[in-house]
Amino acid sequence: MTQPASTPTVEELEEQERRLVFRRFTHEDAWALGSLLVETARERQAPVAIDIHRAGQQLFHAALPGSAPDNDAWIARKRRVVERYGAASYLVGARHRAKGTTFEESSRLDPDTYAAHGGSFPITVEGAGVIGAVTVSGLPQLEDHRMVVEALERFLDAGTV
């Protein structure tokens, strides 16, 4: 599914989360999803770092050419938003913007610890809820978000999970 060129609405972002749900999520699934993201990033020569966490454990990490240690710091900050709010980091930021404020102003959370910028998406399992996050950092925030969503769509459409 091709993403629209415009900025998605809160409703469109929420629909992505309702749709992109796993039946299960194993270590092997993390490897396959992470590998798909690496393949996508290489095809686009995207200078990103990729991370998949489940229940506090890092199951996958890759740093592609052009990425930097700062990308890992962004990954951690965006992932913490998913873990705290149970929603995509971009969606959390969009909800604040829709209310005429910013995440930084209204959350009162340390911006060195939390970043409601695009690129981290919840790993949601039917019957279990949010169990982890898949995160990309290195592109503008909407592009990070779209890369993750596209990979999740391709992975789930393949019907393996």
If you compute the radius of gyration of the chain from its CA atoms, what whole number of angstroms results?
A: 14
Query: Which ranges of 44-88 does DSSP label H, i.e. alpha helix?
Result: 69-85
Identify the helix (H) or strand (E) that includes residue 27.
helix 27-43
| Average confidence score pLDDT of the chain | 95
pTM above 0.75, yes or no: yes
Distance CA 72, CA 84 (A): 18
Query: Do the beta carbons of residue 116 and residue 89 sit within 8 Å?
Result: yes
- Whether the per-residue pLDDT at 1 is higher than 50: the answer is no
The helix/strand/coil state of 32 is helix
C-alpha angle with apex 21: 93 to 30, nearest 5 degrees? Answer: 90
pLDDT digit string, tens, across residues 97-152: 999 999 999 999 999 999 999 999 999 999 999 999 999 999 999 999 999 999 99
pLDDT digit string, tens, across residues 128-138: 999 999 999 99
Which residue matches tokens 């393996």?
A: 160
